[in-house]
Amino acid sequence: MATLNPATRDPVRAALAPLLAAHRAAHPGSALPGSAEAELRHGYAVAERLHRGQLRKSGAPYITHPLAVALILAGMGLDTTTLVAALLHDTVEDTPYTLGEVRAEFGDEIAVLVDGVTKLDGRRWGDRAEAETLRKIVLAAAADLRVLVIKLADRLHNLRTLRHQPEHKRARYAKASHELLVPFADRLGIHVLKREMDDLAFAARHPAAHEATRRAVRTALGQAGRTFGPATALLRTSLAEHGVKARTQLRQSHLYAVHQSFGGDLAGLRPCEAARLLLLVDGGESDCYIALGAVHAALHPVAGQVRDFIATPKDNMYRSLHTRVIGPAGDPFEVIIRSEAMHPVAEYGIVAHIRDAGGDPATAVAGRRDLVWLSRLLAWQPDAPSAEFLDRLRADLAAGHVAAFTTRGAMVPLPAGATALDFAYALGPGTGDRCIGAVVNGRLAPMSVQIRSGNVVEVLTDPAGAPSEDWLGIAVSVPARVHIQQRLALRRAEEDADAGRRRLVQALAERGVDLLAAEARGDSLAVARDLGHTEIDEMYAALSTGAVGLGDLLARFTGP
């Protein structure tokens, strides 16, 4: 008599089998804690029970979504705690389960992760819900980046199943993904997520262009052997002659990247325009530079087309050498060189660091230079009202990358198009407020000069300097613009308060009332608070702008 497979008898084990297998596969050679399976079984059982009866738009049981999110994260090597949180990530939002119950049943760490990705109630927050939910995720990510990683995996699976949504919702959701979530994946260096999210959002927003790009790339790659085969053979010989061990991979460019490069002009797309060659060097940094020499010895290099992201990593700590060469058939293509040790970070970014942190992934990334952008975001976000937060966040995330340097050699990351004024504010608000110009590469320059990668910048300041309205036409970076707007608003409020007070002083003097004496007695503050102001300067400013009438104030100060 045939015996039943244990997984068949246990539906929880059957459902979890792919997740457990992926979790073990991502940690070869290091045994997972014995409690890992029990924790995942518990998380799945609770999530399945709470979501039971709920269906996705596809008609599939809702539990398939959190399970898929957990599977994406397991494939990247995330820890058991993160996977349990992924299984539970929609329970507080979509079921009667409370955050307190999560904390009591699973502990504080998982509760923090679940809370971080839980949307705010649209009925309570109204039009502010989307902006404030994203602000909440950013604030939670500052304490534990796994919150943002879970959110990205959640968005990836929703994009994979977006075809089941109405057409108008598909386009809107994909647009938001391109503008807000994909840039987060890029800032965190998680390129495996970025590439797939890019292509899925592209397919939803522009299906005809996506299909045309897919066909063109497929046709081009059908001829890849003719372009890359002879070049790869020459490279292998040259690498051996230079004593470098390396393996080669043909890397297809993702479809959205091809679309951005060529738009609708895809006729005759060549293999060298649809793929790049990746060299993974078995060795250290010096071996990568030797490999670069071997590449240039075998294939003619294109002048000025070497980019060194090893000596100067990107903001997200991506490290590789990029060079453009001419193949034997005359086709120019890009070669990327990195060590085997650099490869996980190039693909998984911050996740590779979280994974390597072992027992304390929540704090392993504290103080990292690749998270300076998050510190800047946290610095300006409190001053951004809900109505402006998303627009400012889009602008901040959409900005390209420029790496400039102080005279002491410290790197200052800036958005593309940034000026010396942006550089000054990147050094600190005090420096920015007093900026009057700069010395760029040893030459005097106005604060409006555009900074380029590699520039060495010294900021010139004046102790009496202060922001002016004109600066909003110079500053490009969101933190600088927010600070300038804040300072200008504060100055206008001070000027309004001064003008309003002078007006009230004169009007009261004509009636024999000394405003200074009234302020000393506390009468002015009492009147201000009766009118709903916390400070007397707010009341004076309201008088200047017309929000408060002079007659009303006079009556309150002089009595009936």
- For the annotated catalytic residues, the residue numbers are 93-94
- Please answer whether residues 245 and 289 qualify as being in contact, where contact means their C-beta atoms are separated by less than 8 angstroms: no
- Please answer whether residues 268 and 223 qualify as being in contact, where contact means their C-beta atoms are separated by less than 8 angstroms: no
Contacts of 450 (CB under 8 A, 6+ apart): 417, 418, 419
> Radius of gyration (Cα) for the chain, nearest Å?
29
Amino acid at 513: V
Amino acid at 406: T
In angstroms, rounded to a whole number, what is the distance separating the alpha carbons of residues 120 and 339?
43
Place of tokens 């060495």: 456
Place of tokens 């202060």: 466
> What is the CB neighbour count within 10 angstroms for residue 38?
11
| DSSP bridge pairs for 333 | 325
Q: What is the DSSP letter of 179?
A: I
Which of 490, 501, 425, 494 has the alpha carbon at shortest distance from 457? 425
Name the 3-class secondary structure at 526: helix
Would you state the structure tokens that stand for residue 559, as one six-digit string?
């009595």
- Please answer whether residues 424 and 467 qualify as being in contact, where contact means their C-beta atoms are separated by less than 8 angstroms: no
In angstroms, rounded to a whole number, what is the distance separating the alpha carbons of residues 415 and 435?
19
**Is residue 324 left, alpha or beta, with left meaning phi > 0 and alpha meaning psi from -120 to 50?**
beta
Which of 33, 8, 139, 150 has the alpha carbon at shortest distance from 87? 150
Which of 447, 376, 438, 444 has the alpha carbon at shortest distance from 405? 438
H/E stretch holding 541: helix 536-545
Q: Between the CA of residue 30 and those of 9, 24, 363, what are the distances in Å?
A: 29, 9, 21
In angstroms, rounded to a whole number, what is the distance separating the alpha carbons of residues 168 and 491?
44
Place of tokens 């009925």: 123
Would you state the structure tokens that stand for residue 410, as one six-digit string?
């410290």
Which of 499, 490, 511 has the alpha carbon at shortest distance from 555? 511
Secondary structure, 3-state, 28-52: CCCCCCCCHHHHHHHHHHHHHHHHC
| DSSP bridge pairs for 437 | 460
Residue 456 has φ and ψ, to the nearest 5°, of -105, 120
